Structure 1
Amino acid sequence: MLNETSLLTSCLARLEWSPERLAREINKHCGSGTISSKAPYNWLKGARPRRQLPYLVAQIVSERLGESVTVEALWPQHFSSTPRPEPAAATIAEPGAPGTPAADPDPVAVALDWMLADEQEPPSQQRGEEVNPAAVDMLFARVRQLRELDDSSGTPLAMDWASQDLQWVRKLVAKHSYDAPTGAQLHRVIAELCQFIGWLAADMGMVRPSRSCFVEGLRAARLANDRSLAAYIISCMSYRAAWDGRGTEALRLIGIARRGAGHGTGIVEALLATRQARAYACLRDETACHRALDEAADLSESAPSSLDSPWAYWLTPAVMVADAGRAWLELGRPKRAERELARGIDLLGTSQPRNTLLHLTSLAEARLKLRELDGATAAATHALSLAEEVTSLRAQVRLSTLRRLFSRYDSAEIRQVVQRADDLLGCCSVP
C-alpha cells in the first residue's frame, strides 16, 4: 500500500509525475536500465533506494520544484541530520581507520594545515601480511581505467567501482605490512581515488560527499608527500566553491594550492593558474582574472610532459583555452569568450565528451549574448547530441539554463532546440 502522506508522494503530485516518470528521470541521469520503471513504487511504500540514488532523487525533485528537498525529509526513517552514510563515497574514514565517519571539516582550514605542515616520512607498518608490489601497480592501473571510463560515459558505475576500490585500499593500509615507499604509494592511490570520487560526486550535485572525499584525498596526498596531487585536489575544492558562487572561498583555496605547490612550470601549474582565474571571474575581478589567464597560457604553451603526474593526463592546452573562455563569459565578455571557447572545443576534438558538452553550452550562451542565433543553435544542437550519450547532472543544469535563454527567441530552428531540450530534460514546454 502506498503511503499517501509521504513527502515523496506529495512532491510527485506537485510535479504531476507518475512513479514511472521519476524512474525515467533517474535513467536519464544515470544511464538506461539503472532502475526499473516500477522501482519508485517501493520507495513510496517506505523502502529506501540503494547507494547514491536517495541523493539523486532529492537533487532531481529539488531542481524541478525549485526548492530544497533533502533525503532526510524524503526518508526520515532511514536518514537523520547526522553526516550521510550514503553513497559509499560519502562514508569517509581517516587513512588507516576504514569505515569511521568523518566530521564535516572546513576545507580552507584543512588546506592551510597542509600548506603549513613540514614534510614527513610516509607511514609504514610492521604487522600483517606484506603488501604485494604488484597489487599496488594494479591499483594505479585501475584508477586510470576508471578515469577513462568516466571520460567516455560519465556513468555513476565508475563511482561505485571507485568507492569499492577505496574501501579495499583502506583495508590494505590498516591491516597489512608495508615499508615507507609502499606506504606513500598506497596513500597516493587513496588520494587519487578520493579526488576522482569527489569530482564525480560534485558533478552529480552531492555537495557533502564531494567535500568529504576531497578532504580525505588531501590528507592522503599529504601523507604521500605528493604536493602536486594535493594542490590539484585543493584546486578541485576551489572549483566546486566557484560553481556555487562562493568566490571568496574559491580564491582562498586556490591561493593556498598555488603557494603550497610552489611556483614553476608544468601543465599542473597552468591548471592552478586557470582555476585561480575562474575564482577571480566569480568575484568579477577582470584585471586579476586576465593576469591569471595570461600566466596560465604562458605555462601551458611551455609545459613539459606530465609523466611525474599520470593523473594529469587529461590536462592539455585545449582544456586551458576552453576554461579561459568560460571565465570570460562569467566576466560578461561574450565576444572574447566565444573566440576562446570555439578554439578550445576545436582543439579538444572527440577526446573529452563531457568537457566538450559543458563548453558547448557556454559557447551557445556566448553566441546568444552576441545575438549570433545560427551559431548558438549549432552549438546547442551539438551539446544536446552529446548529452544523449554522457551522464552529468552539471550538464543537465547547464542545458536547463540554456533552454530558458533560447525560449526568449522565436524561429523554427530555435523551437526545435527548445523541444529537443524539453525531451531530454523532461521539462515542460513553457519557460
Structure 2
Amino acid sequence: MDEGSVLGDCLKRLGWSPDKLAREINRVRPNSISPKAPYGWLKGSTPRGSLPQIVASILSHHLRETITAEVLWPAKATAPGADGWLQQPWSQDGTWEGLGSFTAGPLRSGLGVSRPLSGQGLIGPAVDWLTTPDAPVAGRPIGEAISPQAIDVLADRVAQLRRLDDAQGGPLVLDWITQDLNWAAHLARNGTYDPAIGQRLHSVLAELAQLAGWLACDLGRNALGQRYLLFGLRAAHTANNRALGANIVSCLSYQATWRSAHDEALRLIKIARQGVGGPPGGAVHALLATRQARAHAQLGQLDDCARTLDEAAALVESAADESTPPWAYWVTPAVLAADAGRAWLELGRPEVAEQHLLRGLQLFGDEQPRNRLLHTMSLAEARLRRHDLDGAAEATRQALDLRSYLDSGRARERMAGLRHEFEHSDSPLACDVTDEIGAVLAA
C-alpha cells in the first residue's frame, strides 16, 4: 500500500485493506468495481465517473471528517477543462460528475468558462436528453439520513428564490441560488436516501440549476448560464422530470434568440415540445408553444408564428391548477399575451403587437416587475414604429419608473436600443427622453 498517498493514509487510519474499500463501494453502488481496483488507485491510477465522490463520501462517513475527491485525486480535479462533464453518460453518475464541476471544480467561481456554446454543443445535449431512456433513480445507503421534510424545506426555498427573482433579481439572488445549489449537491452526494427521496432531490437540483442559469443569462453571463442550464437538464433527466427538462431546453432556445441564433433556437424549442411528455394542454405546453412562436417570428415566419400563438392561447385555456407544476406559477395569461406582443413586434406588425402588449401589461397588475419593465419597453418600441412619439415617450417613462430592475443585462440592452431609436428623431420630446434614458443607464 502506498502510505504516501492521501488514500493510503485514510485506509491505514481505518485499518482497511483495498479489498475492504472495494466491498464498501460495491455495497453503495453494486457491481461498480472489481475487488482489485483500489490497488490500482494506490499505485496512481484514477477512478472513473463519480467513483471519486463515492470513495470520498465513504471515507468521510467512517473517519467522521470531510474528505473530498479533490484531496484524494487532485490531478483529476485539474486535468479536464470546465466542460469535461458534458461528455459524461446521461446517467446518475454522469449527473454527479457535472455536479462536481459546479461545487468543487472549475465552474464553482463562475470563471471557468468564457465562450457560449452554439451549434452541436447545444443541440447535442438536447437530443441526448430527448432520446436517452429514463432510468430509475438509485438511492444511497450511507451518510446522514435525508427525510421527506428536508426535501420539503428545499422545495420551499426554491419557490422563495423564484419569487425573490421576480421581485429583485440581480447578482445577489444568483449568489444565493448557487449557495443553495451547493447545499443540495452536498445532500445528494453525502446523504442517505431511498429512490423516492433521490428523485425529489434531483428535481430540486434541476430547478436550482435552471434558476441559476436563467439569472446568469439575464445578467449577460451567457456562457455560465448555459452550463447551469445543461447541468439542470441532466438533473431533470435523472429525476425523470420531463416537464422540467423541456422547460430547461426551452430556456436554452430562448437564450439562443437573445444571441440571434434563430435557427438554433427553433431546433431547440421543437426538441423541447417533442420531449415534454404528459397530456397536452396546460401552462407548460402553452409556454413552449409561445417560445416556438418567438423563434418563428425572429425568422420572419408569419404563418408558423400565428399558428403557434393560437396553439398557446388554446393550451393555456385548457390548463387546470392541479396540472401546473409549482415552478410554472409565473406562466400566466399576462405573460403569454405580452410574449405574443413581442412576437408580433419582431414580425414587423407593431399595431398588432401594441394590442397584445397592452392586454398583457393590464393583466400583470403589480406582479412580475422585471417582466413588466421588458414589455413596457416593447410597447414603447411598437409605438415608435407606428410613429406615435407621444405614446412611446409615455411608455418609456413608465419603464424608467421600474429602473431598479435594470440590473438585468437584457433590460439594459433593450433600454439602450430604445434610446438609439429615440435618437433618430430631433423633436424636443425625443431629445428629453433620450437624455432621461442616458441618465438612468449611467447611474
- TM-score range normalised by the length of the shorter chain: 0.7 to 0.9
Q: Does residue 388 of structure 2 align to residue 372 of structure 1?
A: yes
**Aligned to 1:361, which of 369, 374, 377?**
377
Pair 381,250 (structure 1): closer, same or farther in 2 beyond 3 Å: same
Once the two structures are TM-superposed, the CA of residue 149 in structure 1 deviates from its matched residue by: 1.1
Deviations 1:251-307 (A, max 9, x none): 111111101113601011000000001111121111111111110111112221155
Q: Does residue 261 of structure 2 align to residue 256 of structure 1?
A: no
State the match for 2:97 in structure 1.
94
Q: Does residue 156 of structure 2 align to residue 151 of structure 1?
A: no
Once the two structures are TM-superposed, the CA of residue 412 in structure 1 deviates from its matched residue by: 3.4
Superposition pairs of residues 18-97 of structure 1, within 5 angstroms: 83=82, 94=97, 97=100
State the match for 2:285 in structure 1.
269
Once the two structures are TM-superposed, the CA of residue 132 in structure 1 deviates from its matched residue by: 2.5
State the match for 1:338 in structure 2.
354
Q: Do the aligned partners of 2:170 and 2:219 also contact (CA within 8 Å) in 1?
A: no
How many residue pairs match? The answer is 340
Pair 389,249 (structure 1): closer, same or farther in 2 beyond 3 Å: closer
Give the distance between the partners of 2:173 and 2:289, measured in 1 at CA: 29
**Aligned to 2:325, which of 293, 306, 309?**
309
Deviations 1:160-198 (A, max 9, x none): 111011111111111111101100111011100011000
State the match for 2:147 in structure 1.
132
Give the distance between the partners of 2:430 and 2:412, measured in 1 at CA: 18
Give the distance between the partners of 2:322 and 2:231, measured in 1 at CA: 24
Pair 117,389 (structure 1): closer, same or farther in 2 beyond 3 Å: closer
Give the distance between the partners of 1:307 and 1:340, measured in 2 at CA: 26
Q: Does residue 197 of structure 2 align to residue 198 of structure 1?
A: no
Give unmatched runs, 5+ long, in structure 2: 1-79, 84-94, 108-112
Once the two structures are TM-superposed, the CA of residue 82 in structure 1 deviates from its matched residue by: 5.8
Pair 298,308 (structure 1): closer, same or farther in 2 beyond 3 Å: closer
State the match for 2:123 in structure 1.
108
**Aligned to 2:230, which of 215, 229, 237?**
215
Q: Do the aligned partners of 2:284 and 2:324 also contact (CA within 8 Å) in 1?
A: no
Give the distance between the partners of 1:176 and 1:354, measured in 2 at CA: 37
Quick one: which amino acid aligns to residue 176 of structure 2?
W
Q: TM-score, normalised by structure 2?
A: 0.73
State the match for 1:416 in structure 2.
432
Moved more, 400-409 or 149-158: 149-158
Pair 354,93 (structure 1): closer, same or farther in 2 beyond 3 Å: farther
Q: Does residue 442 of structure 2 align to residue 426 of structure 1?
A: yes
Give unmatched runs, 5+ long, in structure 1: 1-80, 85-91
**RMSD over aligned Cα, in angstroms?**
2.0
Pair 390,137 (structure 1): closer, same or farther in 2 beyond 3 Å: farther
Pair 416,164 (structure 1): closer, same or farther in 2 beyond 3 Å: same
Quick one: which amino acid aligns to residue 104 of structure 2?
G
Q: TM-score, normalised by structure 1?
A: 0.75
Bigger relative CO (Cα 8 Å, ≥ 6 apart): 1
Q: Which runs of 4+ in 1 moved over 6 A?
A: 102-105
State the match for 2:183 in structure 1.
168
Q: Do the aligned partners of 1:130 and 1:176 also contact (CA within 8 Å) in 2?
A: yes
Quick one: which amino acid aligns to residue 150 of structure 2?
A
Q: Do the aligned partners of 1:321 and 1:340 also contact (CA within 8 Å) in 2?
A: yes
Pair 96,372 (structure 1): closer, same or farther in 2 beyond 3 Å: closer
Deviations 1:53-105 (A, max 9, x none): xxxxxxxxxxxxxxxxxxxxxxxxxxxx9649xxxxxxx96356442447968
Q: Do the aligned partners of 2:406 and 2:412 also contact (CA within 8 Å) in 1?
A: no
Quick one: which amino acid aligns to residue 342 of structure 2?
R
Percentage of pairs with the same residue: 47
Deviations 1:314-337 (A, max 9, x none): 110110010011011111111111
State the match for 2:245 in structure 1.
230
State the match for 1:348 in structure 2.
364
Moved more, 96-105 or 304-313: 96-105
Quick one: which amino acid aligns to residue 197 of structure 2?
T
Give the distance between the partners of 1:286 and 1:96, measured in 2 at CA: 41
SS at structure 2 position matched to 1:371: coil
